[in-house]
Amino acid sequence: MKKIISFAAAATLAGGMLAAGSASAATTLESVKERGNLKCGVTSGLPGFSQPDDKGNWTGIDVDTCRAIAAAIFGDGSKVEFTPLTAKERLTALQSGEIDVLSRNTTWTLTRDVSLGLNFTGTNYYDGQGFLVRKDIGVDDAKQLDGATVCIQAGTTTELNLADYFRSNDMSFKPIVFDTSEQTVQGFSSDRCDVLTSDRSQLAALRSKLDDPDSAVILPNIISKEPLGPVVRQGDDQWFNIVKWSLFTQINAEELGITQDNVDEMKKSENPEIQRLLGTSGDMGEKLGLSADYGYRIVEQVGNYGEMYDRNVGPDTPLGLERGLNALWTDGGIMYAPPVR
Amino acid sequence: MTHPTELPPKSELGVVGWARKNLFSTWYNALLTLVVSYLVISSAIPLFKWLFLEATFTGETASDCSGEGACWLFISQRLNFFIYGFYPDTLQWRIDIMFGLLALAFVPQFIERFPGRKWFGLFGVTGLPIIGYILIPGGWFGLEEVPSNKWGGLMLTLILAYVGILAALPIGTVLALGRRSEMPIIRGICVVFIEVWRAVPLITVLFMASVMLPLFLPEGVSFEKLMRALIGITLWQSAYMAEVVRGGLQAIPRGQYEAASALGLGYWRKMGLIVLPQALTLVIPGIVNTFISLFKDTTLVLIIGLFDILGAVQSTVTDPAWQNVAIEGYVFVAFCFWIFCFGMSRYSQNLERKLDTGHRT
């Protein structure tokens, strides 16, 4: 029996290596160009990040991140084929070459970056775990939550973070575990628990599902770091650079004040930084293996980072998330991209 | 002498008589009737109110929903997505044709006197899959290609169930015959196949197909996810089907086999002409039961990220623009499943009556 198991393990390992190793036969850029579209892995439905709308079109910040990459390569942000993936299969799908880029609300951690043959290309959303509490228990800081009953969704890292946080602060809690986020909200609104914990980007959406949203508040505490961003396979540096710089281009565009509306006027700008970003001077696109106007295409089709944020998760959307950490470094946030030079 | 022409007393006739006899025959029956009818009425009225009276049927956006009753607006606004998934709007006529053909093939089966209904049924299991194979993915005869990751909703559920059902019956029959074969190698292979596939849950099969299989395949050789799921479902289902058919084979008296042999029929003609027609007729309830459970099991593809009707609904009920539409979504899914499963069940009863050979008591 042991022999069989070790043989199976070896076979799995060899299979995995074979798949990962042979992926570099043709470069990812070549195969994407030949296929004529970008294959992008997204969540199967997470408000603000990737969700089908009324017409069945994918919308969300993760979706737009992929559209920006397609715009950079093809000059057409619609040439993306979205593959909805569950949390469990997302990394395998990328490793096996089923998708070209994974933009699926995936937290950048050491283990994932180092030991799985993957590379994180940057952060398109800085998230963190937070708490939603009922107003009537009179708590305004997570440190006062000793002995609370907490509603959590099973099988997520939030469960682990929660236990870590309470242990390190020497507090006790009673977990009530649910399967889906709807059930978690139901549990919270039917008074099964005092506190609901989840990523802060989702708390606002969950709160809006309550019968009386004003009866609950989101605490200011953030108990974990969750930098979310696109992921690619290791071993194709050109592709890694393209994905990385398509996001950087969006962030730089916001910093330089280039928007979807003014991008055509900006092309006439005298500012050398803007000229380089939009491709009116310099050979930045060529260095990446793309056309010279790749930056112009990204902003024209998808917009700069701020526009992408406001459209999908910003204060005017049902999610209503303030920029916070995701504001530009010049506005008190930590969104910072290296210069285009 | 004439017979008395008077009717029985009024209290013994009609609704009153029936109620007296069945509902109020003794004091405790009367009490039970009252309590039960109170419970039924008191729960049915709010349900009816929620479903119809206070529900919102018309409008444009989430704000049109009153909040008291069900918000059917959510369903009607997204109906297109729930039925076709991501299938391009301009090409949805192809799916409509398939729905039409499906109805054309199977609705006549419910009408006893429909002329040539056998041929419609035959078309349903031969022509229909071929047309579907050409029409749905496209890429032939100048039809625009629609990759399978754009398929979704009710249409995907039907494809999964239809292919699973259609392929599993013949494969299962062959496996059942193999398991009863006198040739040890064939019997061995069939026993191992059936026992292995039947011993694993469908969810594991789907998971293996979607997560593990791509790692083993060499680069460049990659099936689409839907294809992998379809193969997994078919193999799994045929193992179940084999056991159902084997039950039928075992119920056929030995005399039938011997009589067929005595007529000089070879193995295939003996099975095809004498044994299988009887065996399959016997196990129609079992076969349809397996079909119905497969139809419902297709929702498990949700965990490998395919958008069947349940997946499509589940991915949209979390939309923060709509308030608490989860219940409406799930009621809608349940209703769709009920229609198809009930249809299959009625059809099987129909078939049993028609093929009744007096085995039923």
ipTM of this predicted structure: 0.76
CA distances from B117 to B96, B108, B120, B121, B285 (A): 22, 6, 5, 6, 21
> Is residue B357 less than 8 Å (CB to CB) from chain A?
no
pLDDT digits (tens, 9 = 90+) for B184-232: 999 999 999 999 999 999 988 988 888 778 777 766 666 788 888 899 9
Please name the residues between 186 and 245 in chain A that touch chain B, using a CB distance below 8 Å: 204-205, 208-209, 211
Q: Which single residue is written with the structure tokens 């006439």? A: A268
Which residue stretches of A169-223 are H helix?
181-189, 200-208
User: Three-state DSSP class for A17?
Assistant: helix
Q: Considering only the beta carbons, identify the residue of A81, A92, A208 that sits closest to B147.
A: A81
> Rounded CA gap, B359 and B252, in Å?
11
What share of chain B has pLDDT > 90, as a percent?
Answer: 27
Q: How close A87 comes to chain B (CA, Å)?
A: 9
Q: What is the pLDDT of residue B1?
A: 59
Query: Which residues on chain B are in Cβ contact (under 8 Å) with A83?
Result: 149, 225, 305
Position of tokens 């239809």? B162
Polymer length in residues for chain B: 361
Q: Which of A235, A238, A240, A290 is nearest to A71 (CA)?
A: A290
Radius of gyration, CA atoms only, chain A: 22
Give pLDDT, residue A138. 85
The token duo for B129 is 């899959």
pLDDT of residue A16: 44
Residue entry with tokens 């690619």: A232
Residue A78, chain B, CB below 8 Å: the answer is no
The secondary structure of residue B251, as a DSSP letter, is H
Cα B166 to Cα B102: distance, rounded to the nearest angstrom: 13
* Amino acid at position B90, single letter: T
Q: Which residue ranges form the domains of chain A, and what is each CATH number?
A: 23-126+228-331 (3.40.190.10), 129-224 (3.40.190.10)
- The strand ranges marked E within chain B are none
Amino acid code (one letter) for B278: Q
User: CB B21: neighbour CB atoms within 10 A?
Assistant: 11
pLDDT tens digits for range A28-75: 999 999 989 999 999 888 888 998 887 788 999 999 999 999 999 999
Q: Is B111 on the interface with A (CB under 8 A)?
A: no
| Residues A303 and A260 sit within 8 Å (Cβ to Cβ) | yes
pLDDT for residue B79 is more than 60 = yes
Contact B160, B230 (CB under 8 A): yes
CB-nearest to A92 from B147, B211, B307 is: B211
More confident residue, B321 or B245: B245
Given its phi and psi angles, is residue A45 left (phi above 0), alpha (psi -120 to 50 degrees) or beta? left
- The C-alpha of B213 sits at a distance from chain A's nearest C-alpha, in angstroms, of 9
What is the overall mean pLDDT for chain B?
A: 85
B282-305 pLDDT per residue, tens: 888 899 889 999 999 899 888 887
CB contact (8 A) between residue A56 and residue B81: yes
Q: Is A18 on the interface with B (CB under 8 A)?
A: yes
Q: CA torsion angle for A26, A29, A33, A38 (degrees, to 10)?
A: 120
| Burial of B207 (C-beta count, 10 Å sphere; 0-12/13-18/19+) | buried
Residue B249, pLDDT > 70, answer yes
Q: Over 90: is that where the pLDDT of B106 sits?
A: no
Q: Which of A22, A44, A55 is facing B305, going by the closest CB pair?
A: A44
Distance CA A156, CA A198 (A): 9
Residue of B nearest to A92 (CA): B211
Query: Distances from the Cα of A296 to the Cαs of A247, A266, A270, in angstroms?
Result: 13, 10, 15
Predicted pLDDT at A275: 93
Q: CB atoms < 10 A from the CB of B7, how many?
A: 8
Best residue in A31, A38, A44, A85 to probe B by mutation, most B CBs within 10 Å?
A: A44
Residue B119, token pair as written in the block? 């041929």
Give the Å distances, CA to CA, from B303 to A20, A322, B355: 24, 32, 40
Q: Report which of B78, B101, B43, B24 is spatially closest to residue B329, judged by C-alpha positions.
A: B78
Cβ separation of B305 and A81 shorter than 8 Å? no
Say which of B210, B320, B326 has its CB closest to residue A208. B320
First and final CA of chain A: distance in angstroms? Answer: 60
- How crowded is residue B135: how many other Cβ atoms within 10 Å of its Cβ? 19
- Spell out, as residue ranges, where chain A has pLDDT lower than 70: 1-25, 155-156
